[in-house]
Chains A and B, each alone.
Chain A
């Protein structure tokens, strides 16, 4: 390959690189972030996952007894009973922060009077702070 072709390819790849930088790389002051390698990584992971999936059991037939859950011989409960509802999630988290929530939730009274009082109170507080610091 003649040197001028190599030079043109090199210049072209530099342009492409600069374009990618311009469009994808986010400078954050302390560092940078480019999502394209991340996306590439996800594509590779998806391909690997698909390859593993494609090597799975060939005799599987959806909609037959094969697809039913095995619960130690017990009958499968109704579908509605199997699903874990939202109210049952994060119980531990809410218990751990009970003291916090016991104070925070009651502040949300739903009473318009309270809403107005909070607004006026914050306005008054800000006024004092801004005027004092001026």
Chain B
């Protein structure tokens, strides 16, 4: 059995373990690279295990509150604080738990992959330190119930991500991509900090449940809302603020690109948490909902059409990541647009949100998988240029199988997981506005066309003389890809149980602002 100490303190442990492990990693690396690999793999395994334990606990027993500096969650509001929860509080509801599952599975699969893919590179102390800091940042962002704490974890994530995007240097090009990401992230973070200042000035609180309970949607609140929405939409790569995405995604090592996908979705989580849990029905849901829908549609269309002419496989996949983010924005945006109308929410709003949220976890799995296959190919042939590839299906059969699984999933081909979430989005969005559903379907067709091109260019054709000696990717990399591929297949074959147990509770937790507030202010 799992010791109760671990279950009770899992919200703190899941952040502390990777954080402490990150700063010890450089010292461990001085002993030997083998011990460092064991250390990093072990730290990530423990982090993932604790995270999954917490997620399971939340899904089975309800929202978990963890108050730092207090013995019990009931001490969320100290008696001498004037009724304000002044301590840092982690509030993990099913929506947060879903993000925890994504991070735990992806983080573990990617670290397994990295142990092999990065073996020949120098500077691995920094690589793994920053990797674990990224994990810390993501887990903190999706768990915290304190908006300033959210900002802190966002900054940890952004700094670590920028370092890892620049990791390969690559004649300065990777550094340039990191610089672009870093500047935009800093400006976005500043905007969020201003918004936090507005909340603190208005409501004398940093706890999100407290701010939500006092929300007036004044002019200042409107300014704060826009600052947060724009910053987090930019961070998740929504068009027309997506320009950093292909630069950063293509220049980072593939393992890091896969984790950047999860990081982008943590920003998406922050956006959804803000509009639903902080503001909810106080905001003009139709306007803000439509703004998110428009961002979604632009992301879908521009992302996929920019992907098709790309010659660099990772830039192509990066544009597809932008396009897929559009589906999530579309689904959840439709849910937001009808938030004030319970009958419409019940008729199709929840379903659209569930489709969008289901697509978050599906996208993290198949897009992560696709980036890992691109990394495996790069490891063997040393290029991302599609014009120089061909015939690799003869020598990299497992990589090809994993690529096909990821490609069919992203294109929404049954029976893979992408189809299930897209079907939910198509059908519910069609009731809201048929044109939006048609656009979403056309984008899926273009996605399929794009990946047919990639599949043909990389794997089909005769075995080329220059790749005569190419071998399959090493076993740890195949294992990492295999974990994600397995999730893609299982989620596609059993979508009912996934939606029932993971997605529906997450969507309802997001919409139910009262429960989010009462978990803290009610001392649950």
A interface vs B, CB < 8 Å? 21-31, 33-36, 38-39, 78-80, 82-87, 89-90, 93-94, 97, 100-101, 104-105, 107-108, 110, 112, 114-116, 118-119, 122-123, 126-127, 129-131, 133-134
Contact = CB atoms under 8 A, between A and B. Distances in A.
Given A28-B351, A30-B427, A80-B465, A90 B179 contact: no
Given A29-B428, A38-B415, A80-B466, A129 B287 contact: yes
Interface in B369-407: 386-391
Contacts of A31: 427
Contact of B496 (A24, A85, A101, A115): A24
B180 interface: yes
Contacts of A133: 284, 286-287
A35 B226 CA distance: 41
Contact of A90 (B230, B449, B494): B449
A133 B460 CA distance: 54
B466 A118 contact: no
Interface string B245-284: 0110000000000000000000000000000000000011
A108 B415 CA distance: 35
Given A39-B415, A115-B244, A83 B464 contact: yes
A123 B241 CA distance: 10
A19 B449 CA distance: 36
Nearest to B416: A35
Contacts of A78: 465
A79 B463 contact: yes
What does DSSP make chain A's interface, helix, strand, loop or mixed?
Answer: helix
B226 A79 contact: no
Contacts of A90: 308-309, 449, 453
B500 A80 contact: no
11 contacts: A25-B496, A28-B428, A30-B431, A79-B462, A83-B391, A86-B453, A107-B240, A115-B180, A126-B226, A130-B284, A130-B291
B291 A115 contact: no
Contacts of A25: 496
Contacts of A108: 243, 246, 306
Interface residues of B, number: 76
Interface string B493-507: 111110110000000
A36 B420 CA distance: 13
B441 to A, nearest CB: 14
B496 A114 contact: no
Contacts of B430: 30
A84 B223 CA distance: 53
Interface stretch (B128-136, B144-152, B161-169, B181-189): B181-189
Given A110-B243, A130-B291, 11 more contacts: A24-B494, A29-B348, A35-B415, A79-B462, A79-B464, A80-B390, A104-B302, A116-B184, A126-B230, A134-B217, A134-B287
A39 B493 contact: yes
B227 interface: yes
A126 B188 CA distance: 15
A131 B226 CA distance: 9
A119 B241 CA distance: 6
B291 A119 contact: no
B237 to A, nearest CB: 12
The CB with the most chain B CB atoms within 10 A, among A29, A112, A116, A131, is that of A29
Closest 6 CB pairs of A and B: A35-B415, A86-B386, A83-B461, A86-B457, A123-B230, A133-B287
B291 A83 contact: no
A122 B298 CA distance: 13
A94 B243 contact: no
A119 B234 contact: yes
Contacts of A86: 311, 386-387, 389, 453-454, 456-457
Given A28-B351, A89-B457, A123 B191 contact: yes
B222 A119 contact: no
B457 A85 contact: yes
A29 B428 CA distance: 7
A23 B428 CA distance: 21
B414 interface: yes
B291 A126 contact: yes
A134 B390 contact: no
Interface string B174-211: 00000110011001100100000000000000000000
